[in-house]
């Protein structure tokens, strides 16, 4: 054996980057953890000009925070990814990511190698996700009370908002909610001074092309033109020739005839995704036709689907009247709302749709109610897609206990990574209990004992009384998909941060490379 003595490892210096990154992520999570749960408080955000946002919404706080540390930016991107994917659960994802990393660092500080901690974390995350998937309660009908409860919880117990969202979901239908391309939260519109309203149709962020056109029409016969509403083009060089100019006049005359055909089949609304020729504009004004121009592809698609119209190119205007009628869409009414400065199209003959108008007395309040409504709508859609589990951190605490049992069977150092996941999973209930004004250590031990005695993953804490209760029976429900996505994000972020050995500032792009 060698007599050479090995120098002691300086964990402080060796893992300086890890400690720095973890502290930055913890600081971000600390900024929003006080908002978690039904007793969570609001955060006031103030910019350099004195503008104020008061909100309980995690992703809004994170998006508006002035953050410079690269690791902190990484956890904020985790929250944004959660928002893009499911539209809710950003606070949960951020807090879980931070707590998992903190617990992982504790294991590293004990001397466990980072690869072993990462391997254990992967096992723990996989176990937790598998448990959630296998114990998710599926929803087969929008009429189920659980749909309302999951929406009510995500909507921070605003009953009026939850009721509107559930009604809208039932109007739209289950098939649409399960469409991966459809985001239910997009149907929500907010307006200061308005009352809450469910509209059986669309609100389009556009106005009629010309104020001389009608601002309200009934018995809509709508033509959707996915093209410019103008005569066919003539090449500029050809237009300079006698033949080209003659063709231009021919196209213009044919266009006038086509406009007359539209009147003969009763068209009174024309939706166009590009520009409109002045001749067509004047004609439509004279004949009481409303034109909406330069619609984006999303709004054009919504109009087509709701009205049942078939999109037409400008060359399609040459078709005879019998053929043209087959392209028309229908709706009960279209009007330009003076308050909203937007168009309403209601009760179309195509696919049913809805718009939720959320109102409040002031701008600050209406913006927050809009955020609440979008979270609730996203939660409802996620619940329909992936089912629900008991909320309030109850199922996470139960999984943590199962992980500790699993950890006893792991012989290698990976068990320390499993323990990190188990410890992190307790954070949600602990934070909810703390925000409600109770001792989290005391309450978690109480719940653990009751869960073990009853062998149920539904036992949590009533944040009003501090007593234990069955979260599922009391209607405290969370979408399974949101919890699974948060777990995946937390695992991925922790692994990424744990693998960072050092931090090096990059040179500016205008600096030369070494020869």
- Predicted confidence pLDDT, tens digits, the chain (515 residues): 333 333 343 445 567 888 889 999 999 999 899 999 999 988 888 888 888 888 888 888 888 888 889 898 999 998 888 888 888 888 999 999 999 999 999 999 899 999 999 999 999 999 999 999 999 999 989 999 999 999 999 999 999 999 999 999 999 999 999 998 899 999 998 888 788 889 999 999 999 999 999 999 999 999 999 999 988 776 666 555 766 667 767 778 888 999 999 999 999 999 999 999 999 999 999 999 999 999 999 999 999 999 999 999 988 999 999 999 999 999 999 999 888 889 999 999 999 999 999 988 777 788 889 999 999 999 999 999 999 999 999 999 999 999 999 888 888 899 999 999 999 999 999 999 999 999 999 999 999 999 999 999 999 999 999 999 999 999 999 999 999 999 999 999 999 999 987 776 777 666 665 55
The Cα–Cα gap between 483 and 398 comes to: 14
Q: Which of 207, 202, 173 is nearest to 188 (CA)?
A: 202
Same domain, 157 and 249: no
- Domain hosting 421: range is 11-137+389-498
Please indicate, yes or no, whether residues 165 and 118 belong to a single structural domain of this protein: no
- Based on the fold, state whether residues 369 and 331 are members of the same structural domain: no
CA–CA separation, 476 vs 394, rounded Å? 10
Instruction: Confirm if 380 and 187 have CB atoms less than 8 A apart.
Output: no
CATH number at residue 474: 1.10.560.10
Is there a single domain that holds both residue 164 and residue 91? no
Residue that finishes a domain, picked among 332, 353, 374: 353
Between CA 113 and CA 7 the distance in angstroms is 18
User: Is 80 among the domain residues?
Assistant: yes
3-state secondary structure 50-82: CCEEEECCHHHHHHHCCCCCHHHHHHHHHHHHH
Answer yes or no: do 441 and 400 share one domain. yes
338 and 231 in one domain?
A: yes
Name the nearest CA neighbour of 97 among 79, 119, 117.
79
Based on the number of CB atoms within 10 Å of its own CB, is 79 exposed (0-12), middle (13-18) or buried (19 or more)? buried
Residue 26 lies in a domain: yes
Angstrom CA distances, 29 to 65, 93, 135, 383, 410, stand at 11, 10, 28, 26, 31
239 and 319 in a single domain? The answer is: yes
Residue 226 maps to a domain: yes
Contacts of 141 (CB under 8 A, 6+ apart): 174
* 59 in the same domain as 155: no
Asked whether residue 130 is assigned to any structural domain, the reply reads yes
Tens digit of each residue's pLDDT (9 = 90 or more) over 465-497: 999 999 999 999 999 999 999 999 999 999 999
pLDDT per position as a tens digit, 337-375? 888 889 999 999 999 999 999 988 777 788 889 999 999
Number of domains in the chain: 3
Q: Looking at the DSSP assignment, which residues form a beta bridge with residue 329?
A: 222
**One domain for residues 214 and 185:** no
For residues 442 and 491, membership in a common domain is answered with yes
Q: Where are the alpha helices (DSSP H) in 206-289?
A: 236-239, 242-264, 278-286
pTM of the complete model: 0.84
């Amino acid at each position: 054996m060698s007599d050479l003595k090995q120098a002691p490892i300086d964990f402080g210096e060796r893992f300086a980057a890890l400690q720095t990154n973890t502290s930055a992520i913890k600081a971000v999570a600390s900024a929003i953890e006080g908002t978690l749960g039904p007793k969570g408080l609001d955060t006031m955000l103030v910019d350099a000009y004195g503008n104020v946002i008061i909100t309980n919404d995690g992703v809004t706080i994170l998006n508006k925070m002035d953050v410079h540390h690269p690791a902190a930016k990484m956890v904020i991107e985790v929250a944004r990814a959660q928002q893009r994917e499911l539209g809710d659960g950003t606070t949960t994802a951020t807090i879980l990511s931070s707590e998992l990393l903190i617990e992982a660092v504790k294991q590293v500080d004990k001397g466990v190698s980072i690869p072993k901690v990462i391997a254990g974390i992967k096992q723990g995350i996989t176990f937790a996700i598998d448990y959630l998937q296998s114990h998710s309660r599926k929803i087969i009908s929008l009429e189920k009370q659980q749909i309302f409860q999951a929406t009510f919880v995500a909507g921070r117990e605003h009953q009026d908002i939850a009721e509107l969202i559930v009604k809208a979901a039932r109007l739209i239908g289950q098939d649409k909610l399960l469409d991966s391309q459809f985001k239910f939260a997009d149907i929500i519109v907010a307006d200061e001074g308005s009352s809450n309203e469910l509209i059986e149709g669309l609100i389009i962020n556009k106005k009629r092309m010309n104020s001389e056109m009608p601002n309200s029409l009934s018995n809509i016969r709508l033509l959707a033109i996915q093209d410019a509403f103008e005569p066919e083009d003539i090449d500029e060089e050809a237009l300079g020739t006698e033949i080209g100019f003659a063709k231009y006049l021919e196209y213009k005359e044919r266009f006038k005839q086509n406009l007359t055909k539209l009147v003969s089949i009763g068209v009174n609304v024309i939706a166009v995704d590009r520009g409109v020729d002045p001749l067509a504009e004047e004609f439509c004004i004279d004949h009481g036709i409303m034109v909406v121009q330069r619609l984006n592809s999303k709004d054009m698609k919504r109009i087509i689907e709701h009205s049942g119209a078939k999109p037409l190119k400008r060359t399609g205007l040459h078709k005879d009247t019998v053929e043209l009628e087959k392209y028309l869409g229908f709706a009960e009414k279209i009007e330009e709302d003076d308050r909203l400065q937007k168009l309403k199209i209601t009760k179309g003959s195509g696919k049913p749709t809805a718009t939720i108008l959320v109102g409040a007395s002031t701008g600050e309040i209406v913006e927050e109610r809009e955020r609440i409504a979008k979270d609730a709508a996203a939660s409802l859609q996620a619940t329909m897609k992936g089912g629900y589990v008991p909320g309030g951190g109850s199922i996470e605490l139960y999984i943590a206990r199962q992980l500790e049992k699993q950890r006893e069977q792991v012989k290698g150092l990976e068990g320390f990574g499993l323990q990190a996941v188990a410890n992190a999973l307790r954070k949600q209930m602990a934070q909810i209990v703390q925000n409600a004004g109770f001792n989290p250590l005391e309450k978690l031990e109480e719940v653990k004992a009751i869960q073990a005695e009853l062998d149920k993953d539904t036992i949590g804490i009533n944040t009003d009384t501090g007593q234990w209760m069955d979260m599922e029976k009391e209607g405290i429900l969370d979408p399974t998909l949101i919890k699974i996505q948060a777990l995946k994000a937390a695992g991925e972020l922790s692994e990424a941060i744990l693998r960072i050995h050092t931090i090096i500032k990059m040179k500016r792009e205008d600096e030369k490379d070494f020869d």
